[in-house]
Amino acid sequence: MTCSVDFNSKDLDISFFVFKPTVVIVDHLVHGLQEFSLLTENLGCLQSSIFRSIHGNMIIWYGAWHKRSSDEKDELTANLQSMLTNVTRMAVFVEHNFLDAYAGESRDGSSTVKFSTGDIISINSVVTSTKDLNDLCYAVLAIFKSRFSKIEGISAGLCMKGQRLPRVVCIHVWKSLQFCYSWVLNSDHRKWMMPYLERFSTDMKYDIYRVVFVSGDNLVNLPYISPHQMLENEEESRQGQLMQN
What is the structure's pLDDT at 28?
A: 93
What is the structure's pLDDT at 186?
A: 75
pLDDT surpasses 90 at 70: yes
What is the structure's pLDDT at 232?
A: 45
Q: What share of the chain has pLDDT > 70, as a percent?
A: 85
What's the count of helices (H) and strands (E) in the chain, helices before strands? 7, 10
What is the structure's pLDDT at 225?
A: 42
Query: What confidence tens digit (pLDDT) does each residue in 105-134 have?
Result: 999 989 999 999 999 999 989 888 888 899
Mean pLDDT, rounded, for 188-209? 76
Q: How far, in Å, are 50, 100, 114, 192, 213 from residue 3 at the CA level?
A: 11, 16, 6, 31, 10
pTM, two decimal places: 0.85
User: Element (H or E) spanning 12, and its range?
Assistant: strand 12-21
What Rg do the C-alpha atoms of the chain give, in angstroms? 19
Q: Which residues of 24-35 are buried (b: 16+ CB within 10 A; e: fewer)?
A: bbbebbbbbbbe
What is the structure's pLDDT at 189?
A: 64
pLDDT surpasses 50 at 218: yes
Beta strands in 128-245, from DSSP E residues, in sequence order: 154-162, 167-174, 203-214
Query: What confidence tens digit (pLDDT) does each residue in 33-60 have?
Result: 999 999 999 999 999 999 999 988 999 9
pLDDT surpasses 70 at 149: yes
